[in-house]
Amino acid sequence: MLYLIGLGLSHETDITVRGLQAVKKCKRVYLEAYTSILMAASKESLESFYGKEVILADRELVETGSDEMLKDADTEDIAFLVVGDPFGATTHTDLIIRARELGIKVECIHNASIMNAVGACGLQLYQFGQTVSMVFFTDSWRPDSFYDKIMENRKIGLHTLILLDIKVKEQSIENMARGRLIYEPPRYMDISTAASQLLEIESLRKEQAYTEATPCVAISRLGAPTQSFKAGSLKELSNYDAGEPLHSLIMLGRQVHDLELEYLYEFVDDKDSFKKLVLQDQEFFKPPPYVPPTEDDFSN
């Protein structure tokens, strides 16, 4: 059996009781270690909590070495641990499809992920549109596909969750070119970088998918003991120090319920000016005002 087990967001103890029971009976335990990190735990603390060895699985192992991971999983129990939920922002459907091909049974033990825990900021999950990702811009690569998606969401009034880049075990271009297996220190995109990149793309595209004044919510270390939220304009957040990773950003849509707004007030510097931002931003993508029918309309 292959167990896919979600670890939740932060602590060793964020695993479910059922997940822990499964880990304890597994022969080998892999930890997916390239799309997210467990904020208040480490490989070592997990090993001591589980009472067994944890094997770090980098992208290479999962994507090209999955047969190695799945070895003997038809007769033994193997665990693949994923921060958040196994079907979270990054899914591991290819691993499951491979397991199926090999006739290996798969069981998934779900957990919280950023995709649902983000509701903790007070915005209603059913009012979110598609989720977008933002990567670190480089001199030559500044992909802006998120821009059209945010526009699509905001045109129909919806909030957008923006997931920020995580770079783990990446090589510099120089080291890659020279074939040196030297990895850069991990990098986690922060709120101010994300907000600045958003503003840069708006200044180039000029289609007003959003503006400097568009209200956003900065989410820092969701689910960790130091979790924090900050609501403000995109411009404000481009200068906001959100502290230690991980960070995510939400851009509000036009549909903001009173209860959502009231909840967000807890995270603003000034209620009145935030409310003003929200009202002002609601003018974008507003449905056209109702025009009463004229006599001409009835003449047909």
Q: Which residues bind a copy of itself (CB under 8 A)?
A: 6, 8-9, 11-18, 20-21, 85, 87-89, 91, 93-94, 96-97, 100, 108, 110-113, 115-120, 122, 124-133, 152, 156, 158, 223, 259-260, 262-263, 266
- Closest contact distance (angstroms) between CB of 133 and a copy of itself is 7
Residue 188 CB-density burial (10 A; 0-12 exposed, 13-18 middle, 19+ buried): middle
- Closest contact distance (angstroms) between CB of 178 and a copy of itself is 33
144 marked among binding-site residues: no
List the structure tokens of 282. 């609601």
User: Which residue in 71, 66, 83 sits closest to 31, CA to CA?
Assistant: 83
- Closest contact distance (angstroms) between CB of 179 and a copy of itself is 30
Q: Which is nearer to a copy of itself, 21 or 172 (CB)?
A: 21
164 marked among binding-site residues: yes
248 marked among binding-site residues: no
237 marked among binding-site residues: no
Q: Which is nearer to a copy of itself, 127 or 196 (CB)?
A: 127
9 marked among binding-site residues: yes
Residue 225 CB-density burial (10 A; 0-12 exposed, 13-18 middle, 19+ buried): exposed
Q: Residue 72: CB partners within 8 Å, gap ≥ 6?
A: 27, 78
Contacts 24+ apart (CB under 8 A), 128-131: 128/153, 128/158, 128/159, 128/160, 128/161, 129/153, 129/156, 129/158, 129/159, 129/160, 129/253, 130/160, 131/89, 131/160, 131/161, 131/162, 131/163
- Closest contact distance (angstroms) between CB of 222 and a copy of itself is 8
- Closest contact distance (angstroms) between CB of 262 and a copy of itself is 6
Is the peptide bond between 246 and the residue preceding it cis, with omega within 30 degrees of 0? yes
281 marked among binding-site residues: no
- Closest contact distance (angstroms) between CB of 212 and a copy of itself is 25
70 marked among binding-site residues: no
Q: Which is nearer to a copy of itself, 77 or 236 (CB)?
A: 77
Residue 275 CB-density burial (10 A; 0-12 exposed, 13-18 middle, 19+ buried): middle
DSSP 129: -
DSSP element (H, E) containing 25: helix 17-25
Q: Which is nearer to a copy of itself, 84 or 232 (CB)?
A: 84
Q: Which is nearer to a copy of itself, 88 or 245 (CB)?
A: 88
Q: Which is nearer to a copy of itself, 118 or 238 (CB)?
A: 118
Q: Can you tell me the distance from the alpha carbon of 257 to that of 285, in angstroms, rounded to the nearest whole number?
A: 17
85 marked among binding-site residues: yes
The annotation places the binding site for S-adenosyl-L-methionine at 9, 85, 88, 113-114, 164, 222, 247
